[in-house]
């Protein structure tokens, strides 16, 4: 057995604390699977462009207690919030009607039985760090939304790492089951106040029930010495809709594996995302759309701006199964490199086994458009500012497509400050 | 609509007969002695043997690649024979007049001009039969222009400096599993050298024929276009219908020196296996060219044959302002599997590449495009445009696209687009409503789909390619 | 204010302007007409400093300085405005952001104070009304999905906000319905003033019914081949350009 991440101690420590036999077996099986998996190298297709050396050299441990965090990122707006600090739930606002939340760490005997069923039919795929999450899982937040419920306020899962998280691995699982015809907005944010090496390892599982409608944000806002390796699995039931927006800023290494399965026909997915690595950061999005049934539609747009010495990886796979006739699926990935040392590796993939479908993908790596640049200049705007405005516009196109809601208003200034190194350049972005 | 097409079309591989000729085939198996034997049969100099042995030793440590989207029983490399030659060719190359007429008839039957006075007199042909070249036409006329066009086995003797300098310079011996195998056991193939400033006076072509059972064909082609020269080269491939799979592992190397222009076209029609997926050629080929300053390399391929195809004709755009092109039609039917595409490696400034790939899958086949566009840090102002389209015919087949894009230069521009669709009922209806029968309609639509690629083929090939598609598609509409 | 002397210019490898002369004094309105491909847009692009246009000979003086030495944004700040024949779409950048950035840059170059956002929005709304564009166009991406006519009005809107001293309108009237044409004319006439020069490139004499030019020039094969008063436009309307060809030849 190999343990390149030196996490075996943490796993055994966790096991020792629990009297829940089923859970322990579940974690143990994941640990043996993880330990038996050869550590990825450049030759491992799924990790070809994303080296994991920054995961090594730290003996990862789990937090016992949440540290204290100020939690100022993405705060102060009208929502129902569940806050986790260092993977422990610290704040759990009053829940609206139709919503129930259960915590793995506090499950009653009766709840344990239900948890066992839910965890056993895990939607999660076979991803290395999803397995790791299972092996070290101390907390899961399971949200159930009753059929027909329409939530006015967004539900915000606010995950923060405190300064105490230094050297910690923080595996957390969020499960959301949306009843049929329900509607809601889920906002997941990740932030870090730690200044040492931290490893956040979240797994989100979403089941969008028949004709339900979910607006979803998954925002990786951590900066500093952070590794974020996580996954999102979603299942779309018949005629459901999911609009999922992703963003990755900062950090040493970020990788998100997104798998969305069309399991009921007539569902629609809009999957958008932006990645903006700079400095020596590395961001990797691996997305897979599984069209398993007929009449599904998917539209995916990811854009990235890669600066300085940063690297980005995008892999967008569309898989149309044999029976998924009449599928419409499209993917677009556009990238801007803004430095001679920056790097992008992109691979849109189509794998198609049904003939009566329309699928397309496109990927580009380019510079800012020269014609547009001249338009700015001809109006007296400086080249520098024009470049900032155009880069921002390149990303903002995706923000504009969001429903008009508070998230958009919170994101804009965040992005604006990111684009303009000097304040006056950001002047016209607000 | 579809059933009636199915009824009155049936699939037929027209090149599937066997030439009844006495061959000398060495016993199956591969070891250093076999390599020594091949080398001895060709009376090769010591350096050539050493080169082969080096490749063989490297090969022993290599693994067969697994990453392609194809599934097949791995060949048993000890069960294959690595050398087979018509008995009449035992004594080495002969002049055309002395070649066994039965052999020449093989090529005539395939529609290949073997006599210099024939209609397609503008094309010089090298004929490779199993492991040997049986004849090359127009050698004198080419020689007058300074062009060298001969079997590579002959070039090893006649032009050792050129061969030593360039053989393995683009595809090194250890490049990959099949290239290493080829380097160890290659038997014959064509050698071309176009001197400085010369525009080759005619099309050059090689026809490869596998005849003998239980043999592999390992041909090796090396084309060197010196500064400011220009050449267009065509390659065609066929094999008899046999129930066992046969291995074809070729290596093609192109060297385009400054301002040279090489156009390389392939019509690959190896035996694809029968309708149940039995038999057919495993076509595992490494083709690569290197383009120096302002040079241009253009690959065009029409791939309709083979049971399994694994092939990525590539360009290393080393010189500033060099150009790489890849135009491909890959059609799979029955149980064929193809994993094909290209690599464009941009090293020089302002290098440009264009990739147009059309995949057509029918019946139970699987057709993948796999490509790499790489912009190195030095590729200032480089550009790539890629368009990959797949057409599905029937609901049992698969069409896949795996394009890798790697960019390390902010001034380089890469654009990739891919679509997948089927021959739509609307298109079919329109054709039929205008009185065009279904068979014709499909072939028209598919031909239209491939137009951008056919345009790149030399005239006589374009017609042949269109016909080939039609034949390959027979019975596919379902 | 603008003095073009024997201007030669090329795009990529094609020479397009072959010795063009033109003088525009403050307060004057010049109309330039000419067949497709004559070089009219090229002239506008060269004057506004579009990359890719190379001046191979001649001089251009603007307000006493060598215009050709200035960068595109410096020319804009010096008061040169080009209304594009084909306005560029910039998705993701809102019209409002763009206009504010532009007005701020130009005001600050003139030594004027920056406008407050409130004042600016008010002004922009007002000008929108003047060019008959609904105010919600300010929120949309620059020219993104605008119709042909809307793009042209958006150009005019920018011009009215920036108050340039030399306006070059490249076929701002093409593709406009008759009402829009009057809107454009009204806008231009409003800007007409003793210290401002205006160059109007057009194919249609009917625009000149509304914007009465002081001079009409015919640009053909990269040069001004004929100049005259308004009546020249009427002649052209009647006889086409072949008439000029004959006369010049
Ligand atoms: N980027 C370019 N590359 C090559 N030729 C160009 C380029 N841009 C313009 N041209 C050519 O220059 C000539 C002049 O173009 P220009 O746009 O100035 O004409 P114009 O007088 O404005 O015509 P129109 O009335 O149609 O607008 C045309 O022949 C055009 O094709
Ligand atoms: Mg014009």
pLDDT mean by block of 10 residues, chain C; 249 residues:
95 92 95 93 93 92 94 90 90 85 88 89 92 89 89 92 93 87 90 94 89 93 91 84 65
The residue whose two tokens read 């599905």 is B392
Please answer whether residues A252 and A225 qualify as being in contact, where contact means their C-beta atoms are separated by less than 8 angstroms.
yes
Residue B379 CA to residue C3 CA, distance in Å, equals 42
Query: What residues contact residue B257 under an 8 Å CB cut-off, 6+ apart?
Result: B224, B225, B226, B227, B229, B292, B295
Residue B441 inside a domain? The answer is no
* Ligand 1 pocket check for C168: Cβ under 6 Å: no
pLDDT of residue B7: 34
Q: Choose the closest CB to A390 out of C72, C77, C90.
A: C90
- B116 burial class (0-12, 13-18, 19+ CB within 10 angstroms)? middle
- pLDDT score at C66: 96
Ligand showing the shortest atom-to-Cα distance for residue C38: 1
Ligand 1 mean position, distance from CA C58 (Å): 20
Mutation to probe ligand 1, out of C10, C13, C41, C86 (largest number of atoms < 8 A from CB): C41
pLDDT at B116: 59
Which ipTM value was assigned to this complex? Answer: 0.88
Name the minimum distance, in Å, from the CA of B439 to any CA of chain A.
Answer: 18
Domain total of chain C: 1
Among C8, C13, C40, C152, say which to mutate for ligand 1: greatest number of ligand atoms within 8 Å of CB: C40
Q: Which two tokens stand for residue B2?
A: 């579809």
Quick one: pLDDT at residue B117? 54
Q: Of the candidates A175, A152, A142, which has an alpha carbon nearest to the alpha carbon of residue A96?
A: A152
- Whole-number Å distance between alpha carbons of B58 and B176: 10
B415: β partners: A364, B385
Block means of pLDDT (10 residues each) for chain B, 478 residues, are 33 71 83 93 93 96 90 88 79 66 73 61 73 76 91 93 96 94 91 96 84 83 97 83 84 98 90 85 94 97 90 97 96 91 97 95 92 96 95 89 95 94 74 69 80 80 73 64
CA-closest residue to ligand 1 atom 11: C37
Q: What is the pLDDT along chain A (430 residues), one digit of tens a residue?
A: 578 889 999 999 999 999 999 999 999 999 999 999 999 998 898 999 999 999 998 899 999 888 888 887 888 889 999 999 999 999 888 899 999 999 999 999 999 999 999 998 876 566 899 999 999 999 999 999 999 999 999 999 999 999 999 999 999 999 999 999 999 999 999 999 998 899 999 999 999 999 999 999 999 999 899 999 999 999 999 999 999 999 998 899 999 999 999 999 999 999 999 999 999 999 999 999 999 999 999 999 999 999 999 999 999 999 999 999 999 999 999 999 999 999 999 999 999 999 889 999 999 998 888 899 999 999 999 998 898 899 989 998 898 888 767 888 888 888 887 877 666 655 666 5
Residue B327, domain member (yes or no):
yes
Yes or no, beta carbons of C76 and A374 under 8 Å apart: no
Token code pair at residue B223: 């084309």
Show the domain range for B358: 16-424
CATH of residue C171's domain is: 3.40.50.300
* Residues within 5 Å of ion ligand 2, judged at the Cβ atom: C 40-41, 85
Say if B220 falls within a structural domain.
yes
Return the SS3 of C114.
Answer: coil
Range of the domain at C143: 2-248
Mutate to test the interface with B, among A306, A337, A350 (most CBs of B within 10 A): A350
Q: Residue A99: which of A168, A177, A208, A28 has the closest Cα? A: A177
Instruction: With both helix axes pointing from N to C terminus, report the angle between B459-473 and B438-454 in degrees, rounded to the nearest 10.
Output: 140
Whether residues A355 and B416 touch (CB distance < 8 A) is answered with: no
End-to-end CA distance of chain A: 54
Is residue A125 exposed (0-12), middle (13-18) or buried (19+ Cβ within 10 Å)?
A: middle
**What is the phi/psi pair of residue C235, to 5°?**
-60, -45
Distance of CA B297 to the CA centre of its chain: 15
- C88, with CB counted inside 10 A (0-12, 13-18, 19+), is middle
Interchain CB distance below 8 Å, C92 and A394: yes
- Which pLDDT does position B119 carry in this prediction? 46
Question: To which H or E segment does residue B303 belong?
Answer: strand B296-303
Query: What are the structure tokens assigned to B365, written together?
Result: 């086949």
- Percent of chain B clearing pLDDT 70 (strictly above): 89
Q: C92 to chain A nearest CA, in Å?
A: 4
With respect to residue B168, please indicate whether it lies within any of the assigned structural domains: yes
CA distance linking residue B55 with residue B61, whole number of Å: 10
Contact B352, B381 (CB under 8 A): no
Question: Quick one: what percent of chain C has pLDDT higher than 90?
Answer: 56
Which residues does chain A have within 8 Å of residue C51's beta carbon, measured at their own beta carbons?
A: 370, 374
Best residue of A367, A380, A412 to probe chain C, by most C CBs closer than 10 Å? A380
Nearest CB to A357 within list B410, B415, B420: B420
Distance in Å, alpha carbon of C72 to nearest chain A alpha carbon: 6
Question: For residue B330, what are the β-bridge partners?
Answer: B303, B359
Check if C16 has its Cβ closer than 6 Å to any atom of ligand 1: yes
Q: How far apart are CA A226 and CA A252, in angstroms?
A: 5
Q: Which two tokens stand for residue C2?
A: 């603008």
Measured CA to CA, the distance from residue B43 to residue B31 in angstroms comes to 18
* Residue B429 covered by a domain: no
> How many domains does chain B fold into?
1
Residue B237 lies in a domain: yes
**pLDDT of res. B1:** 30
Q: Would you say C68 and C60 are in contact if contact means Cβ atoms under 8 Å apart?
A: yes
Residue A217 · residue A186 · CB < 8 Å: yes
Measured in whole angstroms, how far is the alpha carbon of residue A253 from the centre of its chain? 13
Is B476 domain-assigned? Answer: no
pLDDT of residue B16: 72
Give C72 Cα–ligand 1 centroid separation in angstroms. Answer: 20
Q: Is residue B171 part of a domain?
A: yes
- State how far the Cα of C48 lies from the Cα of C196, in Å rounded to an integer: 16
- State pLDDT tens for residues B176-231: 999 999 999 998 889 999 999 999 988 888 888 777 777 888 989 999 999 999 99
Structure tokens at B413: 């521009």
Minimum-distance CB partner of B422 among A336, A346, A355: A355
Contacts of A228 (CB under 8 A, 6+ apart): A190, A199, A200, A201, A202, A220, A222, A248, A251, A253, A254, A255, A256
């Amino acid at each position: 057995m190999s343990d390149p991440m030196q996490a075996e101690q943490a796993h055994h420590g966790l096991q020792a604390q629990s009297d829940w036999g089923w859970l322990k077996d579940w974690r143990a099986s994941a640990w043996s699977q993880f330990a038996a998996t050869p550590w990825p190298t450049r030759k491992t297709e799924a990790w070809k462009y994303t080296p994991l050396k920054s995961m090594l050299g730290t003996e990862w441990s789990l937090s016992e207690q949440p540290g204290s965090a100020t939690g100022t990122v993405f705060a102060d707006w009208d929502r129902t919030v569940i806050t986790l600090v260092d993977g422990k739930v610290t704040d759990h606002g009053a829940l609206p009607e139709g919503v129930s939340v259960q915590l793995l760490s506090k499950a009653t005997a009766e709840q344990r039985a239900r948890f066992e069923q839910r965890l056993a039919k895990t939607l999660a795929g076979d991803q290395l760090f999803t397995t790791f999450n299972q092996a070290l899982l101390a907390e899961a937040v399971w949200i159930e939304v009753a059929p027909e419920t329409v939530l006015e306020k967004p539900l915000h899962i606010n995950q923060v790492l405190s300064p105490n998280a230094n050297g910690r691995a923080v595996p957390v699982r969020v499960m959301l089951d949306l009843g049929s015809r329900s509607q809601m907005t889920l906002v997941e944010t990740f932030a870090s106040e730690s200044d040492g090496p931290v490893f956040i390892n979240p797994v989100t599982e979403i089941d969008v029930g028949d004709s339900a409608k979910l607006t979803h944000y998954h925002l990786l806002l951590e900066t500093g010495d952070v590794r974020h390796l996580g996954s999102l699995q979603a299942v779309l039931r018949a005629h459901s809709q999911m609009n999922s927006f992703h963003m990755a800023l900062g950090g040493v290494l970020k990788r998100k594996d997104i798998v969305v399965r069309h399991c009921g026909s007539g569902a629609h997915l809009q999957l958008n995302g932006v990645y903006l690595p700079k400095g020596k950061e590395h961001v990797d999005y691996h997305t897979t759309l599984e069209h398993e049934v007929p009449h599904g539609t998917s539209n995916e747009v990811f854009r990235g701006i890669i600066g300085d010495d940063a690297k980005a990886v995008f892999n967008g796979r569309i898989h149309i199964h044999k029976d998924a006739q009449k599928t419409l699926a499209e993917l677009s990935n556009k990238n801007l490199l803004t430095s001679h040392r920056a790097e992008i590796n992109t691979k849109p993939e189509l794998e198609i086994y049904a003939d009566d479908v329309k699928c397309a993908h496109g990927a580009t790596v380019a510079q800012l458009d020269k014609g547009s640049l001249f338009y700015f200049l001809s109006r007296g705007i400086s080249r520098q500012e024009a470049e900032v405005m155009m880069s921002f516009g390149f990303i903002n196109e995706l923000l504009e497509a969001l429903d008009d809601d508070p998230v958009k208003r919170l994101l804009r200034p965040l992005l604006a400050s990111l684009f303009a190194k000097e304040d006056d350049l950001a002047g016209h972005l607000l | 609509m579809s059933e009636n097409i199915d009824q009155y079309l049936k699939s037929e591989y027209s090149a599937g007969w066997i030439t009844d000729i006495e061959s000398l085939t060495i016993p199956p198996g591969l070891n250093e002695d076999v390599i020594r034997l091949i080398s001895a049969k060709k009376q090769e100099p010591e350096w050539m043997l050493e080169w082969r042995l080096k490749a063989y030793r490297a090969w022993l440590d290599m693994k067969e690649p697994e990453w392609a989207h194809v599934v097949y029983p791995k060949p048993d490399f000890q069960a294959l024979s690595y050398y087979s030659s018509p008995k009449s060719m035992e004594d080495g190359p002969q002049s055309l007049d002395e070649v066994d007429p039965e052999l020449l008839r093989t090529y005539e039957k395939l529609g290949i001009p073997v006599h210099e006075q024939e209609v397609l007199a503008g094309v010089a042909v090298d004929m490779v039969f199993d492991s040997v070249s049986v004849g090359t036409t127009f050698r004198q006329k080419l020689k007058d222009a300074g062009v060298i066009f001969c079997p590579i086995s002959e070039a090893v003797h006649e032009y050792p400096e050129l061969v030593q300098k360039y053989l393995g310079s683009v595809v090194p011996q250890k490049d990959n599993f099949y290239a290493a195998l080829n380097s160890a056991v290659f038997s014959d193939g064509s050698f071309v050298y176009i001197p400085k400033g010369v525009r080759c006076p005619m099309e050059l072509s090689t026809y490869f024929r596998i005849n003998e059972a239980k043999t592999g064909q390992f041909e090796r082609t090396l084309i060197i276009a010196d500064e400011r020269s220009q050449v267009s080269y065509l390659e065609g491939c066929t094999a008899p219908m046999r129930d066992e799979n046969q291995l074809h592992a070729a290596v093609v190397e192109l060297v385009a020196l400054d301002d040279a222009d090489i156009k390389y076209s392939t019509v690959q029609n190896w035996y694809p296996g029968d309708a149940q997926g039995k038999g057919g050629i495993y076509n595992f080929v490494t083709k690569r060219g290197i383009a120096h300053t302002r040079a241009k390399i253009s690959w065009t391929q029409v791939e309709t044959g083979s049971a399994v195809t694994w092939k990525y004709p590539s360009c290393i755009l080393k010189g500033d302002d060099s150009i790489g092109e890849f135009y491909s039609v890959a059609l799979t039917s029955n149980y064929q599997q193809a994993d094909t595409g290209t690599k464009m490696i941009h090293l020089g400034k302002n290098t440009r590449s264009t990739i147009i790939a059309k995949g057509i899958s029918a019946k139970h086949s699987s057709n993948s495009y796999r490509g790499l566009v790489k912009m190195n840090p030095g590729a200032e102002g480089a550009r790539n445009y890629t368009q990959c389209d797949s057409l599905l015919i029937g609901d049992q087949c698969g069409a896949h696209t795996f394009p890798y894009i790697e960019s390390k230069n902010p001034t380089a521009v890469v654009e990739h687009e891919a679509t997948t669709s089927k021959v739509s009922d609307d298109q079919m209806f329109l054709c039929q409503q205008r009185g065009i029968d279904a068979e014709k309609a499909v072939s028209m639509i598919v031909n239209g789909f491939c137009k951008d690629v056919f345009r790149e083929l030399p005239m006589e090939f374009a017609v042949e390619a269109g016909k080939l598609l039609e034949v390959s598609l027979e019975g596919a509409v379902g | 204010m603008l003095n073009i002397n024997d201007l030669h210019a090329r795009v990529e490898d094609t020479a397009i302007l072959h010795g063009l002369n033109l003088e525009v004094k403050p307060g004057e309105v010049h109309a330039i007409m000419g067949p497709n491909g004559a070089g009219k847009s090229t002239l506008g692009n060269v004057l506004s400093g579009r990359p890719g246009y190379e001046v191979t000979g001649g001089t251009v003086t603007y307000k006493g300085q060598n215009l050709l030495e200035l960068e595109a944004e410096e020319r804009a700040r010096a008061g040169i405005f080009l209304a594009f024949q084909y306005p560029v779409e910039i998705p993701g950048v809102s019209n409002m952001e763009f206009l504010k950035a532009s007005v701020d840059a130009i005001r600050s170059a003139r030594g004027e104070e920056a406008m407050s956002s409130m004042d600016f929005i008010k002004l922009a709304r007002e000008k929108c009304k003047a060019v008959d564009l609904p105010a919600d166009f300010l929120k949309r991406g620059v020219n993104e999905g605008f119709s042909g006519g809307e793009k042209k009005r958006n150009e005019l809107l920018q011009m009215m906000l920036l108050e340039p001293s030399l306006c070059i309108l490249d076929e701002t009237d093409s593709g406009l319905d008759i009402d829009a044409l009057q809107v454009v004319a009204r806008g231009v006439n409003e800007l007409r003033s003793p210290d401002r020069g205006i160059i109007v490139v057009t194919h249609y004499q009917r625009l000149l019914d509304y914007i009465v030019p002081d001079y009409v020039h015919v640009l053909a094969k990269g040069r001004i081949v004929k100049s005259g008063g308004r009546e020249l436009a009427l002649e052209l309307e009647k006889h086409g350009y072949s008439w000029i060809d004959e006369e010049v030849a």
